[in-house]
Structure 1
Amino acid sequence: MRRDPRLEIITEAVERLVPGATPAFMTVTVTETLPGTSNPDGTPHRHEWSGKPEDLGTRVFTALYGRPRAEETLSPLAQAEDAKRARDIVGEVGILMSAGSGLWSAPWYPARPGDLVHVAYEQAGATPAVGETYIVGDAGDGLMSLQLLAVSPGRPPEQEQFSGPYATEAADCPLYGLWFEAGPHRLTVVRDGRPVHIGGAR
């Protein structure tokens, strides 16, 4: 299970109020100072709320969308296939049309040359868990490439031919295939040495 991506975006926006801060060490304080009142020591009378960025993000999310709920860790493609199997054409079309919305609305989008993208695949039967790391490059004319850098140990030799399926020489959005087919919950995006998207966990 993973959190709603809209809640992640709101929380990350709060965390970025202090550039370069470590979210685990951050707190948010909202203060109301009441005019014409004072405490016995002469200081203005105040009401105050304090909490973590995630607490504030959850309050904003709840006001906009209702209480957050965990979502299944399925890629947009897998969700669309589930809807198709259920003969839910409206749901299938809706999923396909909004498949990239979480990517396009991410505060770190679009991808930049030098971004590292890691995709983690879970163990499936006898096939062990494996990860692939890609790098985004400048392909010229406003396009970007996605090149396979490394595959973590564990992939059987007979499956090596399937490595790097998302590599591309030139694309407007080189991460869309990964986002749509593998799913955002399997992706970690690192920019300038800092993770800007961590799939499946915060």
Structure 2
Amino acid sequence: MRRDVRLQIITEAIERLIPGAIPARISVQVVEDVRTGSQNTWSGDADALAAAVFTALFGRPRPIEDSPLARADAAKGTGDLVGELAPLLDGDQQLTSAPWYPARPGDLVHVCYERTDGLEAFGETYIVGDVGDGLMNMQLLSHSLPADMAEDAVEKLAGWFTTEASDDPLYEAWFAAGSERLTVVRDGRPVHVGRAQ
């Protein structure tokens, strides 16, 4: 499970209050200005304050669910065959029963990735195209990786879900990234919006 990107944004905004600070060393203190002599305070780290703000705005934070493949891999590691198959079958049912399914030429597919230890959060956008004989492709349009990143590093990180000819170009992204990290736009309107956006 991963954190909701909205909670991550709030946390990063708090961390940026002190430019150049090491996020793990930031603490927050809220002080009530009481001129009567007694003073109430609250202290915590950036994560605790971000969670309080997030809860006030959106309700309790719920982690972003891992992709069906990640959940299946975790169950495979424990030898749980039912636990390995269940997320794959559930993921297939969620995709194929969606009211906007199947993908159509012209659909835009955005995939978002959370921040990791070595990389800031980024996204990439694909377009679905018709390649004939009932097959479609999905080509990378753009990504938000840093402009100064080495070209070979960009090639390793962006474009993973490019397909040349498939009867279901969304399938790999849906299972590997997970539905909560995908947004699908058709004819200028979002038809699927993942929670990680």
Query: Post-superposition shift, 1:151?
Result: 0.7
Query: Post-superposition shift, 1:91?
Result: 1.4
Which deviates more from structure 2 when the two are superposed, residues 84-93 or residues 177-186? 84-93
1:131–1:71 distance in 2 versus 1, CA, 3 Å: closer
State which of 128, 131, 135 in structure 2 corresponds to 1:136: 128
- Distance across 1 between alignment mates of 2:144 and 2:196: 20
- Distance across 1 between alignment mates of 2:118 and 2:87: 31
Which deviates more from structure 2 when the two are superposed, residues 103-112 or residues 160-169? 160-169
Query: Post-superposition shift, 1:201?
Result: 6.3
> Is the 8 Å Cα contact of residues 163 and 169 (structure 2) preserved in structure 1?
yes
> What amino acid sits opposite 1:188 in the alignment?
T
Query: Post-superposition shift, 1:153?
Result: 3.5
Percent identity between the aligned chains? 56
Instruction: Say if 2:153 is the partner of 1:159.
Output: yes
> What amino acid sits opposite 1:197 in the alignment?
H
1:133–1:201 distance in 2 versus 1, CA, 3 Å: closer
1:94–1:152 distance in 2 versus 1, CA, 3 Å: same
> What amino acid sits opposite 2:108 in the alignment?
L
Residue of structure 2 in register with 1:177 after alignment: 172
Query: Post-superposition shift, 1:159?
Result: 1.7
- Distance across 1 between alignment mates of 2:165 and 2:90: 23
- Per-residue CA deviation, residues 30-86 of structure 1 (Å, 9 max, x unaligned), is xxxxxxxxxxxxxxxxxxxxxxxxxxxxxxxxxxxxxxxx78511000110121123
> Is the 8 Å Cα contact of residues 184 and 192 (structure 2) preserved in structure 1?
yes
What is the RMSD of the two structures over their aligned residues, measured on CA atoms? 2.1
- Distance across 1 between alignment mates of 2:89 and 2:180: 19
Q: Which runs of 5+ in 2 are unaligned?
A: 3-61
* 1:1-202 matched pairs, under 5 angstroms: 72-154=64-146, 156-157=149-150, 158-162=152-156, 163-200=158-195
TM-score, normalized by length of structure 2?
0.63
Question: Would you identify which runs of 4 or more consecutive aligned residues in structure 1 move more than 3 Å?
Answer: none
Q: Which runs of 5+ in 1 are unaligned?
A: 3-69
* Matched residue SS, 2:184: strand
- Distance across 1 between alignment mates of 2:64 and 2:112: 16
> Is the 8 Å Cα contact of residues 143 and 170 (structure 1) preserved in structure 2?
yes
